[in-house]
Structure 1
Amino acid sequence: MARMDTPPGQCPQCWQHAHDRRAHRHLKPREDCPQCVDHMINGHPYIVPKAKSRWR
């Protein structure tokens, strides 16, 4: 699988869990991922910063 960097403005954990099948491979069918559930309840701890706009 090609290396995928988290795009600006996205959460690295959300991005990895959405685009990498290995993140949830250990789960049984219809089993919730504990990391994702915690993330949904407590929010994003880190967001990749966006580049400053060059319009100003």
Structure 2
Amino acid sequence: MPAQDTPPGQCPQCWQHAHDRQAHRHLGPREDCPQCVDHMVNGCPYLTPKKPSFWW
């Protein structure tokens, strides 16, 4: 489940896995997370919204 407070321009799954210890709790020592490996190989499946532009 993606984190609710994901900043604009960030992938919700990447953000959660980087900042929530519960995301990798089920893994053993030196065991790779299949979701993270999939992200590294195939890229993020989410269309991340861009940060709001404050140019004008």
Residues 6-49 of structure 1 show CA distances to partners (whole Å, capped at 9, x for unaligned) of 10111111100000000000000100000000111110111133
- Stretches of structure 1 that go unaligned for 5 or more consecutive residues are none
CA distance in 1, matches of 2:54, 2:39: 33
Q: What fraction of aligned residue pairs are identical, expressed as a percent?
A: 77
Instruction: Select the structure with the greater relative contact order (CA < 8 A; seq sep ≥ 6).
Output: 1
- Stretches of structure 2 that go unaligned for 5 or more consecutive residues are none
Structure with higher Rg: it is 1
Amino acid at match of 1:18: A
1:55 positional shift: 1.6
TM-score by length of 2: 0.81
How many residues align structurally?
53
CA distance in 1, matches of 2:32, 2:9: 25
TM-score by length of 1: 0.81
Q: 1:42 maps to which residue?
A: 42
